[in-house]
Amino acid sequence: MWLNRDVISILDFNKEELLDLFSKAKLIESLKENNLKNLKGKILTTAFFEPSTRTRLSFQAAMLKLGGSTLDLGEPSISSLAKGENISDTIRMLDYYSDIIVIRHKLEGVSRYAAEICEHPVINAGEGTKEHPTQTMIDLYEVWKTFKSLENLTYAIIGDIKHARTISSLILSFSIFKPRKVYLVSPLELRAKEKIRSFMEFNGILYEELTTFSEVLEEADVFYVTRIQKERFSDPYEYEKVKGSYIITLEHIKRMKEGAIILHPLPRVDELSPKVDSSKNAAYFSQARGGLYLRMALLRAILTGE
Amino acid sequence: MSEKELRVTKIENGTVIDHIPAGRALDVIRILGITGKENYTVAILMNVESKKLGKKDLIKIENRVLEPREAQLISLVAPDATLNVISNFEVKEKYKLEPPETIEGLIRCPNELCITNKQDEPILPKLKVVKGSKIVLECIYCGAILTSEEITRFIL
């Protein structure tokens, strides 16, 4: 099911495969002292053509915990790319040195192309504004652990719906695990792209676009909060006007229903007040922690089939 | 094609492209790169009555045989078209165009941020042909969609 699989889009996987992965991750998470060091001698290379700290470190930590080794391409500005080498040649070289390659690029289609030219499996660690399949696996894993199911839940997705690839990728997964309803909460300028809206309509995903989350506080099971970047606004005053509307505070938490959770792909800026961290609804640190186990399960499954 | 429908004379040698959806003849002309400055005769009939399509377009091109590449591209804007190869006023060959499963290296991806649009990368654009009531192309690398109406703008 998993051996030598590429991970390019969340849509490359079905319900059965994803639930299998979550069970594997949960098993690893339950082992206090992991003795799964069966990736000894295997090399994972991270090639991040776009800045990333968390995702890169999380993949590297997952590989090291499984007994494998890691290589890193380094900053594109100091690697061979700076000398004018094309992406294709760079990826081919990495394929010769590695057993698995993790790629992030601002261009779209790079990881699919890399998978085509590489002998070894390729994992997309974020691409363009549409795909971030392993982050979505992590998001779903946290929801699955909390609700024991991924169907029929109500999501409030808050932030930059237009540009955040974590959001777009999560929305793609709603064609696999059908939610009850999805509220897309964003300033008008950052509403979902037409393509995402037609994807939801084509897949019969019930959704509603809102500019504030106040009216869904009592209804949503999962609040998926993301950062709103100032630079996305054509008018900085518009940003100043709306930024406060997308911050979750303890007052909001009080209105949330019992058992509702708040997720965030992190890093956060000010959209989640640190005071919220200790509330029982805050699941974003658990989500980040689970991310490590999810990625361990994924690497292990791809490299050993187990 | 009945004599009643035939509003222009028969051609001696060349190609007749029949059963083009009404309104798409000019797209076919664009695909063939015909500017009107060539020294061969081209007849374009638009909105001709058709039993099969209701209305159709039809093109006659004297002294030109289509290349497979051109036939493939035409099949995307006119998936039901038939190609007649004319020799000595007679139909020597007649075949129905069939849109391919994928189209490689002939049409570029409409997404400027797609890897296939990056110069210096040895990668050919590859689009999946999604057949429905109208043909839609989908980039196999980035998933960008190209509608049937947009195709001629992205021909390489």
For residue range B121-133, list pLDDT tens digits in order: 999 999 999 988 7
> Which residue among B109, B121, B142 places its CB closest to the CB of A86?
B121
Q: Could you count the other beta carbons within 10 Å of the beta carbon of residue B49?
A: 12
C-beta of residue A114 within 8 angstroms of C-beta of residue A135: no
C-beta of residue A225 within 8 angstroms of C-beta of residue A264: yes
Helices (H), chain A: 15-30, 54-65, 87-97, 110-117, 133-147, 165-173, 194-202, 236-242, 250-255, 284-304
Per DSSP, A233 falls in state: -
**Nearest chain B residue to A117, by CA:** B123
∠ CA A202-A206-A207, rounded to 5° = 105
pTM: 0.90
Residues of B in contact with A106 (CB under 8 A): 113
Residue A248 lies in a domain: yes
Residue A2 lies in a domain: no
Residues A241 and A300 in one domain: no
- 3 state SS of A49: coil
Amino acid, single-letter form, for residue A42: K
Give residue for tokens 């909460």: A185
Higher pLDDT, A20 or B148: A20
> Which residue among B115, B120, B122 places its CB closest to the CB of A109?
B115
Residue A221 lies in a domain: yes
In this prediction, residue A228 carries a pLDDT of 84
Disruptive mutation site among B141, B145, B146 for chain A (greatest number of A CBs within 10 Å):
B141
Q: What is the pLDDT of residues A58-95, one digit of tens each?
A: 999 999 999 999 999 987 766 666 666 789 999 999 99
Residues of A in contact with B114 (CB under 8 A): 107-109
In this prediction, residue A65 carries a pLDDT of 93
Q: Whole-angstrom Cα distance, residue A259 to residue A257?
A: 6
Q: Where does the pLDDT of residue A235 fall: very low under 50, low under 70, confident under 90, or very high at 90 and above?
A: confident
Q: Give the containing element (helix H, strand E) for A261.
A: strand A261-263
Give residues 158 to 197 of A whose Cβ lies within 8 Å of B: 195
Tokens linked to A51? 């800045």
Q: Whole-angstrom Cα distance, residue A293 to residue A278?
A: 22
In this prediction, residue A230 carries a pLDDT of 75
Q: Among residues B104, B102, B8, which one has the least CA distance to residue B48?
A: B8
CATH of the domain at A248: 3.40.50.1370
Asked if B115's CB is within 8 angstroms of A107's CB, the reply is: yes
Residue A79 lies in a domain: yes
- CB contacts < 8 Å between A and B, how many? 47
Instruction: Compute the nearest-CA separation of A88 from chain B (Å).
Output: 6
Residues of B in contact with A195 (CB under 8 A): 145
Asked if B140's CB is within 8 angstroms of A112's CB, the reply is: yes
In this prediction, residue B53 carries a pLDDT of 78
> Which residue among A86, A107, A109 places its CB closest to the CB of B139?
A109
Q: Where does the pLDDT of residue A117 fall: very low under 50, low under 70, confident under 90, or very high at 90 and above?
A: very high
In this prediction, residue A268 carries a pLDDT of 87
Residues A157 and A282 in one domain: yes
Per DSSP, A248 falls in state: B
Is the Cβ of B154 closer than 8 Å to some Cβ of chain A?
Answer: no
Residue A121 lies in a domain: yes
C-beta of residue A195 within 8 angstroms of C-beta of residue A157: no
Number of H helices, E strands in chain A: 10, 9
Residues A47 and A89 in one domain: yes
Q: What residues contact residue B148 under an 8 Å CB cut-off, 6+ apart?
A: B76, B77, B134, B135, B136
Amino acid, single-letter form, for residue A160: D
Q: Give me the percent of chain B exceeding a pLDDT of 90.
A: 80
Residues A192 and A297 in one domain: no
Q: What share of chain A is helix, strand, coil (3-state, %, to 5)?
A: 45, 15, 40
Residue A34 lies in a domain: yes
Q: What residues contact residue B89 under an 8 Å CB cut-off, 6+ apart?
A: B10, B11, B12
Give residue for tokens 């043909």: B135
Q: Whole-angstrom Cα distance, residue A18 to residue A1?
A: 10
Q: Among residues B119, B118, B114, which one has the least CA distance to residue B127?
A: B114
- Domain tally, chain A: 2
Residue A299 lies in a domain: yes
For residue A46, the enclosing domain spans 10-128+290-304
Residue A259 lies in a domain: yes
Q: Whole-angstrom Cα distance, residue A59 to residue A119?
A: 20
Residues A101 and A188 in one domain: no
Residues A143 and A280 in one domain: yes
Residues A200 and A261 in one domain: yes
